[in-house]
Amino acid sequence: MASEDEPPPIELGINLETVATVIDHARALQSIDADAEPYDDEEPETRDPEAERAALAAFIDELTEEEQATLIALAWVGRGDYDAEEWAEARRLARERGAGRDTAEYLLSMDMLGDLLAEGLAAFGIAEEEIER
């Protein structure tokens, strides 16, 4: 139970496991980048980056508009465009700008998407490593 001095936890508008899934897939996609060098003890990646990208895009497309807007806002917070105190404004703007657009395409165009989302969560005191998968 939170003490009276602590603000109540913020409602992100998305299930944390969903965010963790997007983070994991975005990082996996990043790791199979054609320019990435495999570690010495690993086999070269044999996964198809286009298939991985399509799978992640399909996952994002299945989310509600509100969840998609939340992912965009989290990425913006993670990138430093907004801070946690500006969360309502970031979500509002993400909803407005995202209306009628391809959210998956927009998110997948962001460099280091997985890290941006993880940083966005961290701004709210949520460690992505601690989210159950």
- Give residue-wise pLDDT tens across range 54-101: 999 999 999 999 999 999 999 999 999 999 999 999 999 999 987 778
What are the residue boundaries of the structural domains of the chain, listed by start?
16-130
Give the separation between CA 79 and CA 12, rounded to whole angstroms.
17
Q: Exposure of 75 by Cβ count < 10 A (0-12 exposed, 13-18 middle, 19+ buried)?
A: buried
Mean pLDDT of the chain: 86
* pTM of the model as a whole: 0.83
